[in-house]
């Protein structure tokens, strides 16, 4: 059975040594001293390690079952959900007005990483509820908020997001679900939604569905979509539950992974719904919290990589095969542990250097979201909007790749069920697809975010990196040569790619769109190179201070050097691909394939 | 349900336009005129499309079941196996002295691709039998050959390879299975073997296990391993089946994919065995046919990519989402097919250009094996020995990656069972692991094959590519610029990597071993660039001839241009990684991870 140990020390390093959260002028951050965050993370670690992680293979093996319209979650899920609820974990970053704890999102992100690593399918029940909470909190009426939010904060009630229909997912302008106004200011919702995560299950007393639908007079396309609250059980004036609404789970999807989460076909047959916000403004409402939702998926991607890596490492330190070519390391044993072999190291270092860089990138992103939401900082909002598709796309592609690398460390054992690695691979795979496929992320990045506000945010990004290099160079030769120089080179590749798009993509958009995916990865590498440079400086500062764990800081530096030397050169290939433009990509007729 | 259409036209192009098999001076090749190969491939295509492919999801869903020592294969497998047997497909490239058809291996390879694409788990039952046939054919006594081979050629009896034990896979020197000589010249075999594909099943009357074990006086390590034939049922003098041997299937492995193939724990409890070849020379005997076995796995890798691609393409041509930014392509419909979008194209072209290059590489490898075995050509033997780890490692890594890309084309549908893409991903995953993990392939390449015979074969490879470029350049500006120049550049990267190993790996082996994996991929890209250059020349010749399908040749050229422009630049990153040596890879203590 796979193991999970929450990486609290690494998390603390990012929060306090790198991001220095307690020193940031963001409302609520001043309370986040080391002792406070340590206490929160330690408690979350216990729950993750002792309760959630052991249920992960159980959820995979049992899956969810639909019986007479009721979805049964795997054994132990309900008890565990009670523990998560009772510990107040579902309320962590929610509004105190509705029973939340009001902590910053960056703290919830660190906790979320643990829960996702420990049991991604399980944590989605809460995650989807939180997403629905966010949408109602941002766009619901006062009455709606009072009616639904407190129970959603506590996760006594679940929440879902209903977008996709059989004939459309990416292109939501095509949806057919209808919302017909009734005399009592409610709407009659009719249509079929698919791939609804946590659409029906037995862990909550009620489920609050958020459903995209079209009013009879709706304009064509995405400008004609409205958002509705459609509760499973109607809620009486006094807050008690009333009649069952006319909606049902029509089936569960059989899928590659996240078997512990119920992926439902939802049928709305004249169900009673309540409009959220204005008519025809549903897309905007649904996507207000998109940065946060997509960051959450990027987090899931590297979190699966993180737990997979832990198990790969344990195997590599334990499994005896062959001898170190530079001299026997385990003379008492029949062979040396496989971690002595350079190619096993290469594999482990690829995993480790990605995961730790991804963690810093994600927490930094969460800090920007806090800065935007809590401090009303428009620049932070612009920057995180730019970087969100990179966090989502790059971290899930690489996170999945990391699970595959970890699986490979185990050789044949990695392919078997009992070691658990193959589940991490199967579970991680969905992160590249949902919440907007990674192709869509790259399109969002290149087709929308680059040019947003006149290109202001991407210019700010380049200035930030340039300023960071200028500010820090010349004080430490190692930092200069091993971090700042490679970062500068990678950043130049990114700028060159942006320049190529400017010069070739305006007239011929396909020249830019053909390179969007490579650009997303190029950008991701630059961000991780930036993060590793920041982490290296923090580690150097830690060493210089003479306090703290010197070995920890040295390991951090060595891991960073690996990333800069061995991962960052990918930017050259991505740029080369981008600079070939659309010619070879679009050469064939669709029929010639 | 996924579809499969055998790519006979593409296969014929490689065999006849590129490799020109009918003109090669290899025994048996003169008979391989276009009509003959076309007839064989057409028949194999029917079987693949109509019988094997429809059973692929069945095998995945049902898996194999162990009941009272008997393994039940999925519904329909036995009937299908009878059809494969009755059609003579199992005997294709076997020795006519034992009932084989005596066709060259290159033909069996083309057929094998179809069978693997159609149903990899199913085709393994035959594949393993063929491997055991090969070992006995090469090393068995006349008596052993007469006793076992005819029934193995027809697959009335199956065959297996028993290497791995719970505590060792890669490091076979550690095996514990014992072989104790008996008075009657047989051996008593005792031990446990794991991960034995097709170790027990209900499709054959008998199963001939090849088992690695140690004699009581065996030297330590791999030099003390002997090879034994251990039949499930003893064979009487008259060829009839006698007593059941003391061996049994102790369990089936639950695994990520290839559920239709029984992966068995095999227990040998004083089972009667017969020595194959000389004592202590078992490793050599088992690995005589390694080039062929590993090429077969490389083939499985890209074959899964090939069938996945077909389904991705069908989806991309059918699914309507969004509009072409350069102008609507499907004004009658609610949206355009997603194949209009550049990023979907990029994805499809990555798949297509890899698969077609991989096919040419594999068939070329099969031709070299024929040249070595049938024509006794030592240079061909040396070259294919060099390239075998590249074929196995690169084509399975990229084949798996291709299935993931294809799955991505389908978005959410790719994650569901019903579309079948996720099965291709899960099945392809094993090819990176078995028959020597890809890490081991890279070690074999860099640690052994590069220096083999004084580096003669790698020098011959460089000379061959150089000669090819010199011979063909200057006659067609497109070919020069789009194929030969990039090939030259990539080949130089490969030479530079080899030079780095020479200069830095002799004194410090870890400097070479830390780059072995990147070298394997770098080499793979050069080989595919070489193949695409050859295919481009063949396509140009086809166009010049004025006969044949001009659109087919143009598509081939466009696909090749894509590979050269967008895939080959990866060689630069691989070289950059290699040239960083062991420093960052080996920097951490094993305990510091």
ipTM: 0.98
Specify whether A134 is located in the same domain as A97.
yes
In a domain, B267, yes or no: yes
In the block, residue with structure tokens 């995209």: A212
Please give the C-alpha separations between residue A34 and each of A11, A16, A111, B290, in angstroms, as whole numbers. Answer: 11, 7, 15, 58
d(CA B59, CA B260): 4
Q: Which of A232, A263, A280 is the last residue of a domain?
A: A280
Specify whether B205 is located in the same domain as B133.
no
d(CA B355, CA B559): 10
Report the CATH number that the domain containing residue A209 is assigned in CATH: 2.40.110.20
Point out the residues of chain A with pLDDT beneath 70.
Answer: none
Q: In this model, does residue B284 exceed pLDDT 90?
A: no
- Give the tokens for residue B514: 């830390």
Contact list, A418 vs chain B (CB under 8 Å): 254
Report the CATH number that the domain containing residue A389 is assigned in CATH: 1.20.140.10
For B593, the closest of A352, A408, A439 (CB atoms) is A352
- The reply to whether residue B317 touches residue A593, judged by beta carbons under 8 angstroms, is yes
- The reply to whether residue B416 touches residue A254, judged by beta carbons under 8 angstroms, is yes
CA distance A338 to chain B (A): 10
Question: Which of the four pLDDT bands, split at 50, 70 and 90, describes residue B288?
Answer: confident
Specify whether A477 is located in the same domain as A519.
yes
Our answer to whether residue B435 is catalytic in this structure is: yes
- The reply to whether residue B346 touches residue A195, judged by beta carbons under 8 angstroms, is no
In a domain, A310, yes or no: yes
pLDDT given at position A59: 98
pLDDT given at position B344: 98
In a domain, A384, yes or no: yes
Which chain B residue has the Cα nearest residue A336?
B171
Specify whether A429 is located in the same domain as A445.
no
In the block, residue with structure tokens 């906790």: A111
Specify whether A356 is located in the same domain as A458.
no
For B255, the closest of A321, A415, A576 (CB atoms) is A415
Which chain A residue has the Cα nearest residue B427?
A415
Contact A266, A249 (CB under 8 A): yes
Question: Which of the four pLDDT bands, split at 50, 70 and 90, describes residue B271?
Answer: very high
For B585, the closest of A164, A349, A509 (CB atoms) is A349
What mean pLDDT is reported for chain B? 97
What is the residue range of A94's domain? 8-65+73-139
CA distance B63 to chain A (A): 14
Contact A320, A398 (CB under 8 A): no
Q: How many CB atoms lie within 10 A of CB B254?
A: 13
Specify whether B176 is located in the same domain as B219.
yes
Ramachandran region, residue B581 (left: φ > 0; alpha: ψ -120 to 50; beta: rest): left
The H or E element containing residue A71 is strand A70-72
d(CA B282, CA B351): 40
Question: Which of the four pLDDT bands, split at 50, 70 and 90, describes residue B203?
Answer: very high
- For residue B436, the 8-state DSSP code is S
Specify whether A492 is located in the same domain as A523.
yes
Q: Which of B280, B303, B338 is the last residue of a domain?
A: B280
Q: In the predicted model, what is the mean pLDDT of residues B291-311?
A: 97
In the block, residue with structure tokens 């691979």: A425
CA distance A469 to chain B (A): 22
In a domain, A268, yes or no: yes
Which chain A residue has the Cα nearest residue B176?
A334
Ramachandran region, residue A411 (left: φ > 0; alpha: ψ -120 to 50; beta: rest): left
Which chain A residue has the Cα nearest residue B321?
A171
Number of domains in chain B: 4
Specify whether A104 is located in the same domain as A238.
no
Q: Name A265's bridge partners.
A: A251
- The reply to whether residue A170 touches residue B322, judged by beta carbons under 8 angstroms, is yes
Specify whether A162 is located in the same domain as A214.
yes
Contact list, B565 vs chain A (CB under 8 Å): 577, 580, 583-584
In a domain, A592, yes or no: no
Specify whether B122 is located in the same domain as B203.
no
Contact list, B566 vs chain A (CB under 8 Å): 577, 580, 584-585
In a domain, A3, yes or no: no
Burial per residue of B205-233, b for 16 or more beta-carbon CB atoms within 10 angstroms, e otherwise: ebbbbbbbbbbeebeeebebbbbbbbbbb
- The reply to whether residue A584 touches residue B561, judged by beta carbons under 8 angstroms, is yes
Burial classification of residue A78, based on how many CB atoms lie within 10 Å of its CB (0-12 exposed, 13-18 middle, 19 or more buried): middle
**For A455-504, what is each residue's pLDDT tens digit?**
999 999 999 999 999 999 999 999 999 999 999 999 999 999 999 999 99
- The reply to whether residue A407 touches residue B422, judged by beta carbons under 8 angstroms, is no
In a domain, B325, yes or no: yes
pLDDT given at position A127: 97
d(CA B255, CA A181): 52
Q: How many CB atoms lie within 10 A of CB A77?
A: 25
Q: Which of A280, A297, A318 is the last residue of a domain?
A: A280
Q: Give catalytic residue positions of A.
A: 435
Specify whether B371 is located in the same domain as B427.
yes
For B584, the closest of A347, A566, A582 (CB atoms) is A566
pLDDT given at position B289: 81
Contact A441, A392 (CB under 8 A): yes
In the block, residue with structure tokens 């670690």: A45
How does strand A157-162 pair with strand B157-162? unpaired
- Give the tokens for residue B122: 């199913």
Question: Of B356, B367, B401, B435, which one is the catalytic site residue?
Answer: B435
For A517, the closest of B346, B433, B562 (CB atoms) is B346
- Give the tokens for residue A143: 């009455």
Q: In this model, does residue B34 exceed pLDDT 90?
A: yes
d(CA A382, CA A362): 16
Specify whether A326 is located in the same domain as A367.
yes
d(CA A284, CA A517): 25
In a domain, A593, yes or no: no
Contact B385, B291 (CB under 8 A): yes
CA distance B166 to chain A (A): 10
d(CA A556, CA B137): 55
Contact A292, A362 (CB under 8 A): no
Q: In the predicted model, what is the mean pLDDT of residues B566-590?
A: 97
d(CA A426, CA A237): 44
């Amino acid at each position: 059975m796979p193991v999970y140990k929450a990486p609290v020390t690494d998390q603390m390093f990012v929060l306090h040594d790198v991001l220095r959260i307690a020193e940031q002028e963001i409302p609520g951050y001043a309370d986040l001293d080391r002792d406070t965050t340590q206490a929160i993370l330690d408690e979350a670690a216990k729950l993750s390690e002792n309760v959630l992680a052991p249920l992960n293979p159980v959820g995979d093996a049992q899956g969810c079952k639909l019986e007479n319209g009721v979805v049964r979650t795997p054994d132990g899920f309900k008890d565990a959900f009670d523990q998560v609820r009772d510990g107040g974990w579902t309320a962590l970053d929610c509004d105190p007005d509705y029973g939340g704890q009001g902590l910053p999102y960056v703290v919830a992100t660190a906790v979320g990483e643990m829960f996702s690593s420990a049991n991604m399918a399980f944590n989605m029940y809460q995650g989807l509820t939180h997403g629905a909470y966010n949408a109602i909190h941002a766009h619901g009426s006062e009455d709606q908020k009072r009616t639904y939010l407190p129970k959603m904060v506590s996760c006594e009630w679940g929440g879902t997001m209903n977008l996709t229909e059989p004939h459309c997912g990416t292109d939501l302008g095509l949806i057919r679900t209808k919302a017909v106004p009734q005399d009592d200011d409610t709407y009659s919702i009719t249509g079929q939604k698919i791939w609804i995560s946590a659409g029906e299950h037995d862990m909550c007393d009620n489920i609050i569905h958020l459903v995209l639908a079209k009013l009879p007079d709706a304009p064509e396309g995405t400008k004609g979509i409205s958002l509705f609250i459609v509760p499973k059980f109607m809620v009486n004036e006094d807050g008690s539950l009333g009649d069952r609404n006319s909606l049902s789970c029509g089936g569960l999807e059989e899928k590659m992974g996240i078997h512990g989460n119920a992926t439902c076909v939802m049928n709305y047959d004249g169900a009673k719904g309540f409009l959220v916000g204005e008519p025809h403004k549903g897309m905007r409402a649904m996507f207000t919290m998109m940065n946060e939702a997509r960051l959450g998926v990027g987090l899931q991607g590297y979190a699966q990589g993180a737990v997979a890596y832990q198990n790969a490492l344990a195997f590599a330190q334990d499994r005896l095969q062959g001898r170190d070519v530079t001299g026997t390391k385990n003379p008492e044993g029949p062979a040396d542990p496989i971690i002595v072999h350079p190619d096993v190291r290469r594999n482990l270092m690829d995993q480790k250097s990605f995961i730790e860089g991804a963690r810093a990138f994600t927490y930094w992103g969460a800090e920007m979201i806090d800065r935007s939401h809590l401090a009303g900082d428009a620049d932070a909002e612009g920057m995180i909007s730019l970087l969100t598709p990179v966090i989502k796309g790059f971290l899930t592609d690489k996170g999945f790749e990391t699970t595959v690398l970890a699986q490979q460390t185990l050789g044949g054992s990695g392919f078997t069920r009992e070691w658990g690695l193959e589940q991490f691979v199967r579970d991680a795979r969905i992160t590249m697809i949902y919440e907007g496929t990674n192709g869509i992320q790259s399109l969002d990045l290149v087709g929308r975010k680059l040019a947003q506000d006149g290109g202001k945010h991407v210019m700010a990004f380049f200035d930030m990196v340039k300023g960071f290099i200028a500010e820090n160079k010349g004080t430490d030769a190692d930092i200069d040569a091993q971090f700042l120089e490679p970062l500068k080179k990678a950043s130049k590749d990114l700028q060159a790619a942006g320049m190529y798009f400017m010069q070739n993509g305006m007239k011929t958009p396909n020249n830019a769109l053909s390179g969007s995916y490579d650009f997303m990865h190029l950008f991701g590498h630059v961000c991780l190179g930036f993060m590793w440079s920041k982490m290296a400086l923090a580690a150097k500062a830690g060493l210089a201070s003479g306090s703290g764990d010197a070995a920890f800081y040295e390991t951090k530096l060595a891991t960073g050097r690996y990333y800069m030397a061995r991962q960052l050169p990918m930017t050259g290939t991505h740029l080369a691909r981008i600079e070939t433009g659309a010619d070879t990509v679009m050469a064939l007729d669709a029929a010639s394939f």
